[in-house]
A and B are shown apart, each in its own frame.
Chain A
Amino acid sequence: QSALTQPPSASGSLGQSVTISCTGTSGDIGRYNYVSWYQQYPGKAPKLIIYEVNGRPSGVPDRFSGSTSGYTASLTVSGLQAEDEADYYCSSYAGSDLWVFGGGTKLTVL
């Protein structure tokens, strides 16, 4: 299985919006609405922030939103705050009880 493709880095100014893309194939993102996103701070375990494309777990601010189009999923962070600076990973179910992660995107808040 190949990793999903994410840009290595993204940035935005405080209060602005930024979108991180995650490109897969017809066998994962293109087939299943089971895309999830994770936020990870250095030295910490990842935290689920989006599930099933656009679901938000309790406690996750509504500044975080997700979507898909074709083989690409997107995570949008609106109203950027300093604490949003972290690494972000996408994941997708790939069928046959297999999962795949993206390469990760380091988000910098300017």
Chain B
Amino acid sequence: QVQLVQSGAEVKKPGASVTVSCKASGYTFINSAIHWVRQAPGQRLEWMGWINPANGVTGYSQNFQGRVTMTRDTSASTAYMEVSSLRSEDAAVYYCVRVTKYHFEYWGQGTRVTVSS
């Protein structure tokens, strides 16, 4: 079965960077885009962007352009999402999601990122 397993919770200081990983299994990793979605405490889901694991091409929401970088390691069937210059508003649960056509079908368990001095 399709599974996306994310890395564990992180605590970072303002201005630092954080990288969240997402290991895929149960399907051919390069055949489906991986998207990232975040959810601040008590807030809505916010779409961040996507990566095509086959060629590394990415697309970002304008809200995150320039501060978020998505990469992948095809040999490890793992996608990565880095957020730089962290600020308090970046405290959230970050989800990786496998998209099927245009809907978010398979979700990782989420990674909580805390930003605190």
A residues sitting closer than 8 Å to B (CB atoms) are 1, 3, 32, 34, 36, 38, 40, 45-48, 51-52, 57, 89, 91, 93, 97-104
CA distance in complex: A103, B43 (Å): 8
B: residues with CB less than 8 A from A are 35, 37, 44-47, 50, 59, 61-63, 95, 100-105, 107-110
A36 and B103 contact, Cβ closer than 8 Å, known pairs A97-B59, A99-B35, A101-B46: yes
Q: Flag if A38 contacts B45 (CB, 8 Å).
A: yes
A8-B44 Cα distance, complex, nearest whole Å: 10
Residues on B with beta carbons closer than 8 Å to the beta carbon of A40: 45
Q: Quick check: B105 and A57 within 8 Å, CB to CB?
A: yes
Return the chain A residue nearest B33 by Cβ.
A97
Residue of A nearest to B105 (CB): A48
Q: A75 vs B42: C-alpha distance in the bound complex, in angstroms? A: 22
